[in-house]
Amino acid sequence: MPSGYHRFSKMERVNRPVQKQISGLWFIAAGLVIIGAVLGGLYLYFRKPEPAGTPTTTTAAGPPLQSGTDVTFTGKITPRALLNIPAPVAGVLDRLDVKPGTPVFEGQLIGHIKNEDLTVQRDNALEDKQRAQTRLENVEASHISARLEASRAAAELARMRLDFAAIEKEYARQQMLYKAGALAKIKYLATEKSYLTQKQDLEVIEETAKRAQLRAEAIARDVDIAKEQFDEKTAVVEARNVDMANSDITSPVDGLLVAAKVDVAGEVTLAMIDLFTISPSPGELQVKIQPNKPVLDRLKVGIPAWISIVDMNENIEGVISKIEAGEVTVEFNTANAEVKPDTEVIVRIRLP
């Protein structure tokens, strides 16, 4: 065999292990690249930006959440105490006399609910009352007339009884004389005739007086019935008037009207237990914030806080009053009537 062939075969035997070693290194390098790409993707996937509204510190360097670090939050003012006014009747809110955000005083008219059914019921009750009143007036007039007739009949009866008593006495005297033979028959008979006539007249007037008295008593009972009916109809009218008056909604306390459930022309139902909402203590306010967990773990009830109202250049001191279910309540008081619920504020807290 040629000598060149032997040299080539020898070199080939020498280079095969080297090629295998280089090929293995390429496989290892490719694997490392793939693993690096996967780890980089996982890092970018799990490294999400913090949501908006999370607290920010005033310092950019140094260990996070150091004591004395200020964290800030945004929130809206809400009243600490609220009083709901339920809908007294159903209907339509046809008038709103006070806008939300306006101070109110006790007894002040806030709005009016129009209810067509209540209006019809009140009008019908008024008509029934008027009919009952007319009947009562007529019965009372009849009673007055019957009492006068009974009074005249009683007076006539009293007079007749006096006259009859006198003639009866005379008749008895003459009857005794006539039986004794001391009185002429013709005179006795005349006295007897007058006596009998007077007795008959007395019986007639007694019957007339009795009927007049019974009629007056019967009409008096009718008057009592008519009065009861009139009182019943009057009570119904008063109840309907109360319902109509309930359509006028007034403030039960001094305070601030915070919200109205419906606008003018909106439907009102009896299920609306919060038709209007009033803050009875407008100067007692609060802000609720939701810090992230690292900050939340550092906060405690009683830590001071400062509430800044940018539009008013107002900076009010408050205090953390409650921490519950990841929510922090900051309470504060103010005498400034312009600081009202729903105002956007910035809350600053210095970590302990």
**Predicted confidence (pLDDT) per residue in 298-345, tens digit:** 999 999 999 998 778 888 999 999 999 999 999 999 998 888 898 999
What number does CATH give the domain 51-80+283-352? Answer: 2.40.30.170
What mean pLDDT is reported for the chain? 84
pLDDT tens for each residue of 260-277:
999 999 999 999 999 999
Q: Is the pLDDT of residue 2 over 70?
A: no
Q: pLDDT band at residue 92, thresholds of 50, 70 and 90?
A: very high
> pLDDT at position 15, please?
46
Any idea which fold 116-242 has? Helix Hairpins (1.10.287)
At residue 14, the pLDDT reads: 42
pLDDT digits (tens, 9 = 90+) for 130-188: 999 999 999 999 999 999 999 999 999 999 999 999 999 999 999 999 888 888 999 98
pLDDT bracket for residue 192 (50, 70, 90): very high
- Report domain extents, the chain: 1-48, 51-80+283-352, 82-115+247-280, 116-242
Q: How far apart are CA 133 and CA 124, in angstroms?
A: 14
Whole-angstrom distance, CA of residue 201 vs CA of residue 156: 11
Sheet containing 255-260: give its strands across.
Answer: 83-85, 276-279, 255-260, 103-104
Confidence (pTM): 0.53
Domain 82-115+247-280: state its class: mainly beta
Say whether pLDDT at 44 is over 50: no
pLDDT tens figures, 241-300: 888 888 899 999 999 999 999 999 999 999 999 999 999 999 999 999 999 999 999 999
